[in-house]
Amino acid sequence: MRDLGKVGVWLGPIALEPAAAERTAARELEELGYGSLWFGESPFNREAFAHAATLLGATERIVVATGIATIWARDGIAMANGANTLAEAFPGRFLLGIGVSHRAIAPMRNKVYARPLTDMRAYLDEMDAAQYRLPAPAEPAKVVIAALAPRMLALAAERTAGTHPYLVTPEHTRLARETVGAGKLVLPEQAVVLTEDADAARAAGRDHLALYLTLENYVSNWRRLGFEDADFDGGGSDRLVDALVAWGDEEAIAARVREHLDAGADHVAVQAVGSDSLGQLRRLAPTLTSL
């Protein structure tokens, strides 16, 4: 895989734009010097492999990563074959992040979310059993798991190249590194708002967190990190919002990224939330890409 550098982009709102606008943004982010482009998958947005191919075809060098492709959307053979297809067509430029998604999502795909760790282990077995008989990629795509809890992190270390934790603090990054050990990838996402207006930053942060406060995976992980019931009320306490959504000027946001790197992250995917995500990333690029 090509060198990711220290900082990439989690597309977030940009990935919800029309395809033409997203392709234009992807080319600009590549030219700005970011090392990766990440995007999510749900029943309500673009299919992961088609989405990745769109971004890869629009750019020349940058790594494109799924954050994540859900295991409920396709069987393990389809996941492995999709990764091989993109890795062969775009050498060194596709990274496959996979995950179990959420309890509320699985029934939308006629699946049952009951034993996520067991299901992920079985799914990795399916992927390993795939027999791709077309020209193989010179370098298979690296696979990482979107892991938050200790046992899923341990599985990521055991069976994949590492982990892509989402909506986490530098403390979680430290715990992830301790769990997966040296030689494995730790690739956290970090939400940011480029403003020194505390009220505006926290309002944007609460808008961003609103959905995730309804999802048990995230709330359980924040509890493990020391947050309490009061932190989840009213759209999230200032303490919670400030821990999960970095805000301030360019140097303040760079400082949060450095905290992740110092805690053991190999690469941080920055997601600009609030208004004008692309504009924020333009302004941040000189500072973040020089880390």
How confident is the model over 146-160, as pLDDT tens digits? 999 999 999 999 999
Place of tokens 């200790």: 150
SS3 state at 6 = coil
* Phi, psi at 185, each rounded to 5°: -80, 135
Look at residue 228 in the predicted model and tell me its pLDDT. Answer: 98
Rounded to the nearest integer, the mean pLDDT of the chain is 97
Distances (CA, A) of 52 to 49, 194, 200, 246, 274: 5, 27, 33, 27, 24
SS3 state at 88 = helix
Is residue 248 very low, low, confident or very high in pLDDT (cuts 50, 70, 90)? Answer: very high
Give every CB contact of residue 54 below 8 A, 6+ residues apart in sequence.
19, 22, 23, 46
Return the C-alpha torsion angle 285, 188, 14, 56, nearest 10.
90
Name the packing angle between helices 19-32 and 48-58 (round to 10°): 50
Mean pLDDT of 169-193: 98
Task: For each of the domains in the chain, give its residue range(s) and CATH number, in order of start.
Answer: 7-288 (3.20.20.30)
- Six-digit token pair at 259? 């905290």
The whole-angstrom separation of Cα 79 and Cα 42 is 15
Look at residue 106 in the predicted model and tell me its pLDDT. Answer: 81
Strands 245-247 and 268-272: unpaired
pTM of the model: 0.97
Look at residue 137 in the predicted model and tell me its pLDDT. Answer: 96
Give every CB contact of residue 131 below 8 A, 6+ residues apart in sequence.
none
Look at residue 35 in the predicted model and tell me its pLDDT. Answer: 98
Look at residue 111 in the predicted model and tell me its pLDDT. Answer: 83
How confident is the model over 65-116, as pLDDT tens digits? 999 999 999 999 999 999 999 999 999 999 999 999 988 888 878 888 999 9
How confident is the model over 117-128, as pLDDT tens digits? 999 999 999 999
Place of tokens 């990764």: 83
If phi > 0 it is left, if psi is from -120 to 50 it is alpha, else beta; for residue 281 that is: alpha
CA angle in degrees (0–180, nearest 5) for 57-279-283: 105
Is residue 250 very low, low, confident or very high in pLDDT (cuts 50, 70, 90)? Answer: very high
Q: Give percent helix, percent strand, percent coil of the chain, each to the nearest 5.
A: 50, 15, 35
